[in-house]
Each structure stands twice: as structure tokens, then as C-alpha cells.
Amino acid sequence: MAPETYGLISLFPAMLAIVLTLFTRQVLLSLFAGIWIGATVLVGWNPAAGAARSLQFVVDNVTEPFNVKLLLFTFLIGAMLGMIFLSGGMNALASQMVKRIRTRRQAALGTSLLGMTIFVDSYASTMITGSVMRPITDKFDISREKLAYILDSTTAPTASISVVSTWLGFEVGLIAEQLTTIGVDRSAFLLFLESIPYRFYSLLALAMVFIIVIADLDFGPMAKAERRAREEGKVLGDNADPLMETQEDDIVTPDHVDPRWWYFAAPIAALVGVTGFSLYYSGGGFAGRSLTDALSNAATADAIVWASFSACLVILTILVGHARIAVDEVSDAIFEGFKMVMFPVAVLSLAWSIGAVSQALGVGPYVVAISEGIITAGMLPAIIFLSAVIISFSIGTSWGTMGILFPVAIPLGHALGAPLAPAIAAILTGALFGDHCSPISDTTVMSSMFAASDHVDHVNTQIPYAVLAGIVATGLFLMAGYGVPAYVALPIGLAAVGSVTYLLSEQLSVEVPSSYGSKAD
């Protein structure tokens, strides 16, 4: 049966998994339930055959080369963190930074800026920013939900619009392919640059982080989480189940070790440095290609695996050579690090699988088919954006959403005579919405993981913020479709987001003390 014929049913597995996750808080069971229902539909409504097909979906996705490398990266990061916990380096660095960060606002703002500064790769940025800033935000009683939100809303949006990142090659490649298809002789990279001012959702999501942090505004579930953290000193809710524990009781720094801040900084520097070098090398930078061309052709998965392995070697050398910690203690810490990431690995594996089920059911073509019947040239950017939002939320992958929409939306836009830059931007930024809202998205999982936040709490607290940015972005895409320049539309959107955030915060979180600016206890 062709995927297009499944119609509305194609949305059901992902929606079921999402609803069950939010209501039962059982992430793994909810994800597998969605996979099983979708697989059962694919095999002709035979539940037993559906169970077998479900397992095959998991096997296929876990063994997909890029995913295998991402899982290996996650395990290596777990090993690295286990060794860093053993060294005491993270606490030593946090102690040094707390001397300079004196307020809650500074801690939240520092997290936001660091998330944007490491723009080369969203995964690396999430891991590094979360690991560095979590002990500091904890000391200033910033909720883990707020930390996860800041990670999620600064790392991927920044990497997606950066001209030096692991996202660049994929995005430019999609643009170039469609330019060839429609017979347009233009530079894909220049068109990528032209689309940046129209990335309304990404830009508004970034702006909201700074509006909320600087003006001390929160609303909805996030206001309750922040009230709990400020008034009770609880960075996690009473019923929270962190996606990754920050430090296991079994990982204790030996008494003879004098923790140094550079025990943490050295492996992180190796991670960042080797990532950059590997991207440049694997993309042919040393063979004469420009920096942009090298990043466009880089082997992203290989680069982050090499980098994480190098970081493990650095901290291992420090532990054995400088801190003089016994090898058996190091081995135990590595094993505890593996244990810390086992649950995130399971979630990632099932999240990829349910995304594959949704694609097999034809959720992308179904959403596009619905949209095509009502599209005009002026409405095209907004319709594309909403389609990307629905698809990315349903399948939990921004890159998968881009791959689905580009072959349909760009030829359609060309046929309607619509400007290409806003249409391209609508796909690239709409695809991020699922990263921010869908509990089955890998970036949502990674943000929960390295913030050590309850995954469902992260999703619940972030959705209102993402929805606000999405609603305003939809209006801006309508304006852009009817000829309003980005430099006119974007300030209007920023004013709208700021005003609505202020109004909602006044109504919903007025009881939250304005304590940014006070010293941590």
C-alpha cells in the first residue's frame, strides 16, 4: 500500500506516543506503543506481525550508520563524564565560575551565551553547555526545566543559521539539489544566506530566551518550576525522574586527589578542538577546499566520535598520570558513566524508530497533500512553515522534515512564482519546531539529558514558549509571502513576542519573587 493512502492514520502513531508520554510519563513504553501501532497498520492490522515489524524498525534504525555513530558518541560522552566526576574537575570549575557569576540572571545569561558561542554543532553545544553550567545554575536555584529550555532554544537554532556548522552542508545540499531540479542557476550558498533573515521561528526562539532571562519573565508551567526552585530550593520537582543523573553516588573523588578546574576544561577543550579539526579534515580542508566547502562536505558523525574518543583519552591521561588514581577506580567510573546514558540511548533508539514508522506511513506526503489544495503564492511561506511544524512534531527530526518538504515545496513555490528565500526559510526554521516541542525529538532528549531534567517536565515547560514563537512566526511568514521585507517583519515579530511574554507573565507568574540579581545562598 502506498504511503499516501494511509491518510489521517499516518499521524496516529506519533500522536499516540506523544500523548501517552505526556500523560503517563512512561517515555519508553509510550514510544514503543506508537511504534507497535504504526507497524501493525503497515502489516495489515495484524498485532503479532506488528510486534515483529516493530522490533525490525528498532534494529534498522539503531544499526543505521549515522545513528550507530551518534550512539557511540553518547556512550563515549558518558564515559568522559564518569571520569570527570571521578576527578572532581566539574565541581572545581563551578567553584571558580561562581566567584565571578554572582546572580541568577548572570548564571542564566551565561548559559544562553555559551549555548550560542559553541555554534559548530548542536549536539556538542548541548553537551558542553549543559555539563559546564548545570552545577552553576543549581547553585543559583535555577530550575532544571529552565536550563533544559535554554539549551534547547539556543543550540540548534544557532547551529541551523550559522555559516560555520555541521548543519550547513546538509541545508546547502538540499537547496542545491532543488535548484538543479527546477533549472534555476543560482548559488545555493548565497540563497542560504538570503534565507537567514526569514528564519523567523529560529530568530524569535533565540530572542525569547534573552527576553525571558534579562527581563525575568516566565509563564505557564515554567513559572511554577521557577517558583519552586526559588522559594523551595528544588531544582527538580518532587516526582521528577531526570533523564540522566548528574553524579552517581558510586563516583566519588578519592581523598588524596586535589581537584583542579582544568581536569574538566582539558577534555572539553579536546572535544571542541578535535571536532573542529575533524570537520575541516574530513571535508577536505587540507586538500585545498575553502572552510565553507570543507564544512559542507564534512563527515559530521565521524567528527564527533573522534572528538569524544579524544576527550576520553585526555581525561584518562589526567586521572592516571596527574591525579594518580588507580586504573580499577577509573574503570568503575567509566562503567558508571555508561549507566548514566543508558536510558537516553534507549529513548533515542525508539525516537528514531517511531520517526521511521511515521515516514513509512506517509505523514509527510499526507500533510503536503492537504496543504497543496489551499496554497497561493502569498500564502506559500506560511503554509510551508505550518507543514514543517506538523511534520517535525510528528516524526521528531528536523533533518528528516527538511528532506521530506524540500522536493515538494520548492518546485511548487517555483511554479507559483513565489520568492524562494522565504519558502526555503520556512522549511529550515519550521523543522526546528519539532526539535523544541516533540518528546520524540533527539535534540529534545539531548537537552533533557545534559540538563539532567525530567524529560516530560522539559517538554511541558517549553511547549508554551515554542508555540508563542511559532504563532508569531506564522504571521510573519504571511507578511513575507505578500511582499513585506524581513527587516520590517522581524521587528514587528520581536515586539509581539516581547509584549505577549510580558502580558502572560504578569497574569500567570506574578507571585514569583523577582530575585534575579540577588546572590545565591
What does residue 89 show for φ and ψ, rounded to 5 degrees?
Answer: -65, -35
pLDDT (mean) for 29-36: 88
| Number of other residues whose CB lies within 10 A of the CB of residue 401 | 32
Q: Say whether pLDDT at 521 is over 50.
A: no
Look at residue 262 and give its three-state secondary structure.
helix
pLDDT (mean) for 452-462: 90
Percent of the chain past pLDDT 70, that is, above it, reads 88
Residue 219: pLDDT band by 50, 70, 90 thresholds? Answer: very high
What pLDDT score was predicted for residue 123?
72
Q: What is the dihedral of CA 331, 336, 340, 346, to 10 degrees?
A: 70
| Number of other residues whose CB lies within 10 A of the CB of residue 349 | 17
Q: Say whether pLDDT at 248 is over 50.
A: no
- Is 0.75 topped by the overall pTM? no
What pLDDT score was predicted for residue 506?
57
More confident residue, 376 or 261: 261
What pLDDT score was predicted for residue 520?
42
199, 425 in Cβ contact below 8 A?
yes
Q: Say whether pLDDT at 510 is over 50.
A: no
What string of H, E and C letters represents the secondary structure of 319-331?
Answer: HHHHCCCCHHHHH
pLDDT (mean) for 412-421: 81
pLDDT tens digits, 143-155: 999 999 999 999 8
Q: In angstroms, rounded to a whole number, what is the distance separating the alpha carbons of residues 137 and 520?
A: 10
194, 421 in Cβ contact below 8 A?
yes
What pLDDT score was predicted for residue 511?
41
What are the b/e assignments for 105-116, b being 16+ CB within 10 Å? bbbbbbbbebbb
What pLDDT score was predicted for residue 512?
41
Mean pLDDT taken over the chain = 83
Q: Say whether pLDDT at 105 is over 60.
A: yes
Q: In angstroms, rounded to a whole number, what is the distance separating the alpha carbons of residues 78 and 342?
A: 9
Q: In angstroms, rounded to a whole number, what is the distance separating the alpha carbons of residues 489 and 56?
A: 47
Q: In angstroms, rounded to a whole number, what is the distance separating the alpha carbons of residues 378 and 417?
A: 10
DSSP structural state of residue 247: S
pLDDT (mean) for 47-66: 92
Chain mean position to CA 307: 19
What does residue 20 show for φ and ψ, rounded to 5 degrees?
Answer: -60, -40
Strand partners, 242: 454
**C-alpha atoms less than 13 angstroms from C-alpha of 471 in its C-beta half-sphere:** 9
Quote the Cα angle for 69-74-75, to 5°: 100
Residue 250: pLDDT band by 50, 70, 90 thresholds? Answer: low
Residue 100, C-beta contacts closer than 8 angstroms, at least 6 positions apart: none
pLDDT tens digits, 162-209: 765 657 666 776 787 778 777 888 777 778 888 999 999 999 999 999
**Least confident segment among 323-332, 438-447, 449-458:** 438-447
**Least confident segment among 247-256, 298-307, 323-332, 380-389:** 247-256
**Least confident segment among 151-155, 183-187, 223-227, 293-297:** 293-297
251, 86 in Cβ contact below 8 A?
yes
Look at residue 454 and give its three-state secondary structure.
strand
pLDDT (mean) for 81-93: 84
| Number of other residues whose CB lies within 10 A of the CB of residue 93 | 23
What pLDDT score was predicted for residue 246?
55
